[in-house]
Amino acid sequence: MPASIITKRQLGLLFITAGVMVIAGVLIFDLLRHHEFGGAYQWAAIAGGGLLSVLGATLLPLGDDPL
Partner 1 sequence: MTRTLTRILIGAALLLMIGHLIVYGVYALSLARFPFDYDQGEGFELNDTVLLSQGQSPYRANEVYPFYASNYPPLYHVLLIPFVWLFGPAYWYGRLFGFAATLIAAAAIGFAVQRETRVRSISVLAGLAFLASNYIYHIGPLFRQHMTMVMFETLAIVVIATYDGTSNRNNRRKLWIGLLLLLAAGFTKQLAIVTVAAFFIFVFLRNPRCAIRCAIGFGTIAGMLFLLLNISTAGQWWLNIITANVNQYLVGQFIGLARQFFGLHGALFILAVLYALYELYFMRLSAYTLWFGLATVDAVLAGKWGAGDSYFATMIAAMCILAGVLSARLYSGTLTFPKNYITRAVSRIRFSPDLLKRLAPLAALAFVLYGLSVIHLPLDGAGFGALAQLLNLKSNTKFPNFYDSAGWTMGYATIGQLPSEADTTNGWRIVALAAADDRPILSEEAAFSFQAKKPVISNPTQLLNLYQNGHYDPAELVAMIKKQAFGAVIFRARFYPTPVLEAVDAAYQPIATIPMNGYDYTILLPRSPVP
User: Is there binding between residue 6 and partner 1 (CB under 8 A)?
Assistant: yes
Task: State the binding string over 48-67 for partner 1 (x if CB under 8 A, else -).
Answer: ----------xx-xx--xxx
User: Is there binding between residue 5 and partner 1 (CB under 8 A)?
Assistant: yes
CA distance 59 to 10: 8
CA distance 36 to 57: 30
Residues at the site binding partner 1, with contacts judged by CB under 8 A = 1-2, 4-6, 8, 41, 58-59, 61-62, 65-67
